[in-house]
Amino acid sequence: MTNSLSQKEQQLLQEAKEYEELCVAKYQTYANQLSDQELSNLFQKLADKERSHYDQIDQILQQYGQQQQN
């Protein structure tokens, strides 16, 4: 595996970040709208998981971005 990302790989990861961000927003909205606490908690957990995915993708982009600049 190489130590850099192609432009296409960077683009795909950026798109994935956008999708994760959209999922976070949707799940949080659903969690806030539900009166059933169990379902609300489920959607909040899903939002938290998507936020974790977002952070992981962001970390990869930052890591490879720094390596490419060195």
Residue 59 domain-assigned? Answer: yes
Give the predicted TM-score (pTM) of the model.
0.83
Tens-place pLDDT, residues 2-33: 578 999 999 999 999 999 999 999 999 999 99
Is residue 54 a contact partner of residue 18, using CB atoms and an 8 Å limit?
A: no
Per the CB < 8 A criterion, the answer to whether 13 and 61 are in contact is yes
Any idea of the CA torsion for 51, 55, 58, 63, to the nearest 10 degrees? -170
In a domain, 1, yes or no: no
Domain that holds residue 63: 8-69
Query: What's the number of domains the chain is made of?
Result: 1
